[in-house]
Each structure stands twice: as C-alpha cells, then as structure tokens.
Amino acid sequence: MMSNKIKLTMLLLAAVAIFVGTLHFGTSTALHWLLKNEAKSTGTDWARHIEARLPELLGIDVASGSNGKIQVPTAKNFGSLASDILAVGNIYQIDFINPNCYCDASIGTYLNPPGKSDGQPIKNEQNISRRGRSHEFDHQASKAGVLHEQPSQAHFTHVASNHGYHAPMAASEAGDLKLPIDRGIAESIVASKKHDIVIRTDAPANQPSVFAEVFYPVISEGETVYLLRVLVDLQNQAVRYRNLLYSGTLGVLLLVILSFGYPAKKYLTTSKRQKETDRRAHFLANHDVLTGISNRNSFQETAPVRLDRSRNDDGSATLFLVDIDNFKEINDYHGHHAGDLVLKEVATRLKSAFGSDDIVARLGGDEFAVLVDRETVDFGTGRSFELPASEGSQNIAVSLCVGLARFPRDADNLPDLLRNADLALYDAKKSASRGVRVYDPAMGSDFENRLQLVRDFRTALERSEIVPYYQPLVSAKTGHVESFEALARWNHPERGILSPAVFHEALEDRDICEQLGRVMLKKALTDMAGWKSAGVPFGSVAINVTEADLTRPGFALEAINGLSGGKLARGDLAIEVTEGCIFGSNKDVLLAKLQELRNAGCNIGLDDFGTGYSSITHIKELPRTSVKIDKSFIKGVVEDSVDQAIVQALVDLGRSVGFKLIAEGVETVEQLDLVHDLGCNLVQGYYYSKPVAGAEVPGLIARINNTGLKRAS
C-alpha cells in the first residue's frame, strides 16, 4: 500500500506539472494551437492556413502591402515567429522597415500610412527630446544615418531615419511608439535573412519602457526588401504575467478539479474514511463495544504502566475484580437485552464511583476490573441495586461480588495482582455472604487445592474410581420402590467413598463434567442390565445430566442404544435435568435433545423444582414426566407454614400440567405423611435410604418393600 505522503507528493507534482504546462501552453503554443485547430476545423492545410491567417492575426496586411514584390515569410517561419513574439509579450506595434533606410541614431521618424503620405520625412522633435532615455544609441546620435528610400508600401508607422524623412506629427500625437533601429541589427538581419529578437530599454517616457523588437526579413527575389518589426511590450509583461498567473492558476485549478478533482476527492474521502476507520479500529481495540469502557486489551496495556508509576513514586495501588452475581440467570430469565442493560449500568456505576484517573475496564463476560492508585479496601460504590428490566416486567435485582488485591503488599506485578484478586473474588463468590473479599495468602492454597482436585478427579475417572450409587424413590401411596436415582461417588483409594460435595468444584470443568456423564451412563446401564437379568424389580434409574452431556454428540443415541441393545426396556432409563441447565441460551437445542430421548422412551424429570427462575414460565415446554420438589422446601415443610405453602403451590402447579410429583430429602415420617397429604406421588430421602452401591440395590428393594417403612398415617 502506498503511503499517504507518497500519494500526496504525487498529487502535488502532477499539479505543478499542469501549472507549468499551462504557463507554457498559455504563451508560446497558444497561437499554434489556435491556428492548428482552425486549420483542422476548416480542413485546410496547416501551413497554408498560417500563411493566410498570421498576417491578419498580427495585424499586417501583407498582401496589400506587398505589391507583388514582398515575399511573405514561409508559413513555417511565420509560425515560429509568431510563437516567438507571443512568447515574449504583447504586440504593441508592427512596422515594415526599408532595410536601406534604417537609422543608426536614436531619432525616430514616421512615415505616412499609404495614401496619406506626403512623401516628406518630418523631423520628430518630440522623439528627439525624449531620447535621453536611450543609453544604447546616445553615443551614436551624432552620426545619424540617412533614410534613402521611403517605404511607401508600408501603411504602418515605422521607424525611418533621423535625417530627411519625418513621420507626420499626427502619428506621433496619437502616441505611437517610435524607436530607432540599430544599424548593426538591421544589417545582420538583412545579411542572415533570419529573424532576431532584441530587447531594448530605450522607449520614450510615456510609453512602456521595456520592449522587445522582433525583426523578420521580408524577402523578395532573394533580397531582403523589408524588415518586419514587431514591437513587443515587455513592461506590461509584469501585468501580463500576473494575469497569466491568475489565469494559469485558474486553469490549473480547473484542470486539477476536472482531472484530479474526482480522484483527489476520492483520495481525500478515502483517507478521511481510512482515518475514521483507523480511529474506530483503535477505539474498538481498546474499548468494550457494549459499555464503552476500556476492554481487557486496554487494561493489559495501561495497568502495568500505572503500576510502574506507583512503583517509581513509592506509592501503592489496589485492584478490584468485580463479578455480577447470577449473571447467567439474569440473562436467561430476563433476556439478553436485560443482561446488556445490567452490564452497562454496572460500567456506569463503576465509572462514576471511581476517579477519572482510575482504570475501569470490562475484562469480559460479567467481569470488571478497577485499578486505583492508592491502597484501599473501600469499594466505593453500592454493591446491590435494582434495575427496571423493561416496561411492565419486574425489576432486575443486581448484586456484585468483589475481590481485591493491593499493590505492592499482595503482589508487585500485574499478573500476580490479577491472580490474587481473582482468588479473593472466587472466595467471595463461594461464601454465603458474598460481598467484598480482600486477598489473603491462604486463598492461594485453596486455589492450588482446586487445581489439584481437578487433576485428581480426572485420574479417578480414568481409573474407574467414580461409581454410581443409587437412592430409591418410593411410592408415597404404597411404600414400594418405584425407581432409583444414580448419584456419583468417588471411591477414593485412601479417603473412602466421597460424595459430590467433595468434588463438585471439579465438575465446573466442562470436560470433566462430560466425562463423568459418560461414565455414569455406562455404569448405570451395566448395573441395570445386571439387575434385569437377576430379576431385581428396580423400576427405572434416573441419571443426572447437564448441558455438557446433552450437547455431547451422540449422547442421546448412546443412551437409547444402551437401552435397545441390551435387555433393557423402554422407560428403564430416566434423565434428570435442572431448570438452570435447560432454560439457558441453548434452550432450543437442549429441549430438542430431551424430546429425542423422550421419544425413545426415556423419562424426563425436572430436578430441584422451585429453586430456579423459570418454573412457571417454562415448565410446560418440557417433555411431560416428573418434577422433583427440591429438598430445601421439604426440610422445613412440617414446621414452616411458608415452606408448606410453597410445596403445596409447587404440587398444584406440577399437577395442573400433568407431571408426577416427587418430594426429595424426606428424612422423617412426619415429612413423609405431610408430602403425601400435600399430593406428592413419590418420595426420595434418607427416611428410606441414603444412596447405596449398586450391589446393595437388590437387598435395599427387598428391605423397603417388605419391612414396612410406611407412612405413619
């Protein structure tokens, strides 16, 4: 790509070239051009045309003056003569001079125009009195020459001699210019038969003082019979050149506009557009499009500079990492537009809460960073607020989680500062109270532990240490086992059987979550097939799946083939999903997957019913089977009338759309009685059994079905 400078230089050079060209064109070639065009348009020969036109153009009536004797200069010569003359200046006067009557003095005379000549040369006193201006001829004034012959053919005034012949006074009074011709010049022209230009400065005072004389020999029968002299005004040259400059500049401008105007305009607009694009690209590269504040890129560039400054000043700084609580849910429930509004509002609040010198950036998603150049634990702005979502809909409750690390106390460089603030943020999110957390070195080991956990759990999956445990779901009416839920357990070689509470952080890793789903499905299907062949009446088994499972290519097929391939029947496998998993941005894909599984005969159950946002709005979109009321509502159902009312409402809601109701976390007989009375169909909980290993399932079924762990009522 050509640089702007080169382009501009080229443009300038072109303009200068046109300017110079125009000047030249405007002078020497103008007449040529005119004549040539005339010749062209009239279809006549160029040379002949010039012959006919030039005398007229120059104001010379050659034909009438020649008397057949004068040989007009050839067209070629005339052309060049004309351009010479015009190149020099304005034609002021044209004379025919008898080469034999040139003068060698500074006294000018006039000859009469044809028909008016009295044949008597008159001494021109006026000119004599002015001749003081001449410097060239002064010394020759004493030896004035003689005009031998009057050139009667000439009807122009022309210079004659200082003796004997005088032009009429009338001509002089008319202000015509009279200049003596230098003998030497005349002789050399006659001899050479070539034209010549002489610049002179000996004009009379009231005439333009600087002239050029252009002589041309008029030849007849090989003899120079006259000298054609054209006086060209050089003094007005200044004016002429100025005018020329004006018209030249105008021409240039016109030409530039015409020939370069469009490309130039295009170039200028393009470069303007380019500048705008560059500016925009720079802005986009450094700003978050949605909120208009700095982005991660810009933060990574400016924050180290700010820290360096603090370091040099022996100052301090604080980095706040800010995260919006439940942002995913806000997005899922209120829509992306509301999510955007929340992000913008948070950006605005952060911007106004901190100084203009502080760096406020959106690092991505719902994560913001604020770097202030002082050590502080004061977050500076309210961490919760409400935002009207849209006309008529309920307000969005927004709360922020903050982790902070101080420079140089907690870290003396940006990467460490970010890492430590992130640990603090993680800690803040983990705690029930949330809020602002200040970095503590102990958090580092938590983080390390988390990393170690992920590594260990991955190994555990590979070593087949992850196994399904099964918890029964019992009919509230009959007290018989109807089905099981498969729950993951880590059979740790040293620590024994570990529940998800120990490893749930590892499940935040999508890859691990996906592998777990694979393992659980496979092992559950194997166990089920074993029970089937052993005639164990397990009913069906539900496995917990997440988005990671459902979007894994082949998951549904795997599940279906696992059923149809073995001895398992339709309906032996159930899938448990949470609302949070299904009703996110990927809703349509996930619902389609569930429908596919439902069509293949799998039951679909909605887990943790009542805890999500979308219970009411989305429940009808699910393939119809069961909803499991979360154990958090069952826990207080006996004592707490609110919990009771909630369970009642959830039961009514589930029933109204034809779902089977499951009460989870039933531990006591009172709870069992109550949930039965409230209308739950199935009960799951420690009252009947904790999750047990696959091998214990047959015995458990027998125990529950036969030992009468029944309702009290």
Give residues in contact with Ca ion (CB under 5 A): 544, 576, 607-608
| Binding partner at 358 among Ca ion, ligand C2E, none, C-beta below 5 to 8 Å by kind | none
Is the CB of 186 or the CB of 516 nearer to ligand C2E?
516
Is the CB of 320 or the CB of 538 nearer to Ca ion?
538
Burial class (CB in 10 A: 0-12, 13-18, 19+), 212: buried
Both tokens of 562, joined, read 């696992």
| Binding partner at 416 among ligand C2E, Ca ion, none, C-beta below 5 to 8 Å by kind | none
Is the CB of 84 or the CB of 608 nearer to Ca ion?
608
| Binding partner at 516 among ligand C2E, Ca ion, none, C-beta below 5 to 8 Å by kind | ligand C2E
State the residue for tokens 């200044």: 238
Among 504, 502, 578, CA closest to 547: 578
For the CB of residue 577, give the shortest distance to Ca ion in the complex, in Å.
9
Under 8 Å CB-to-CB from 711, ≥6 apart: which residues? 476, 479, 669, 672, 673, 676
Is the CB of 410 or the CB of 608 nearer to ligand C2E?
608
- C-alpha 147: how far from chain center: 86
Helix (H) or strand (E) holding 660: strand 660-664
For the CB of residue 613, give the shortest distance to ligand C2E in the complex, in Å.
17
Among 460, 452, 516, CA closest to 487: 516
For the CB of residue 353, give the shortest distance to ligand C2E in the complex, in Å.
38
| Binding partner at 488 among ligand C2E, Ca ion, none, C-beta below 5 to 8 Å by kind | ligand C2E
Helix (H) or strand (E) holding 247: helix 237-255
For the CB of residue 273, give the shortest distance to ligand C2E in the complex, in Å.
53
Among 476, 471, 544, 478, CA closest to 696: 471
Is the CB of 373 or the CB of 547 nearer to ligand C2E?
547
For the CB of residue 487, give the shortest distance to ligand C2E in the complex, in Å.
4
| Binding partner at 482 among Ca ion, ligand C2E, none, C-beta below 5 to 8 Å by kind | none
- Quote the crossing angle between the two packed helices 237-255 and 4-42, to the nearest 10°: 110
CA 89 to each of CA 86, 333, 352, 422: distance values in angstroms, whole numbers, following the listed order: 5, 89, 75, 86
For the CB of residue 666, give the shortest distance to ligand C2E in the complex, in Å.
6
Both tokens of 108, joined, read 């000018």
Cβ 603 vs Cβ 682: under 8 Å? no
| Binding partner at 144 among Ca ion, ligand C2E, none, C-beta below 5 to 8 Å by kind | none
Is the CB of 416 or the CB of 667 nearer to ligand C2E?
667
Cite the beta strand spans of 275-427 per DSSP E.
294-295, 317-324, 359-364, 367-372, 384-387, 396-407
For the CB of residue 563, give the shortest distance to Ca ion in the complex, in Å.
20
For the CB of residue 696, give the shortest distance to Ca ion in the complex, in Å.
19
The DSSP 8-state label assigned to residue 642 in this structure reads H
Is the CB of 404 or the CB of 574 nearer to Ca ion?
574
For the CB of residue 395, give the shortest distance to ligand C2E in the complex, in Å.
30
Is the CB of 367 or the CB of 667 nearer to ligand C2E?
667
| Binding partner at 500 among ligand C2E, Ca ion, none, C-beta below 5 to 8 Å by kind | ligand C2E
| Binding partner at 28 among Ca ion, ligand C2E, none, C-beta below 5 to 8 Å by kind | none
Amino acid, res. 622: L
> Which residues of the shown chain bind ligand C2E in the complex (CB under 6 A)?
471, 487-488, 499-501, 516, 520, 544, 546, 607-608, 631, 665-667, 684-686, 691
Task: Give the C-alpha separation, 343 to 362, whole Å.
Answer: 9
> What strands, in cross-sheet order, belong to the sheet with 211-220?
90-97, 223-233, 211-220, 196-200
Is the CB of 358 or the CB of 576 nearer to ligand C2E?
576
Amino acid, res. 459: T
| Binding partner at 667 among Ca ion, ligand C2E, none, C-beta below 5 to 8 Å by kind | ligand C2E
Angle subtended at Cα 36 by Cα 34 and Cα 37, rounded to the nearest 5 degrees: 65
| Binding partner at 422 among Ca ion, ligand C2E, none, C-beta below 5 to 8 Å by kind | none
Residue 552, SS3 per DSSP: coil
Cβ 60 vs Cβ 93: under 8 Å? no
Residue 309, SS3 per DSSP: helix
Is the CB of 86 or the CB of 672 nearer to Ca ion?
672
For the CB of residue 472, give the shortest distance to ligand C2E in the complex, in Å.
10
Neighbours of 103 (CB within 10 A): 27
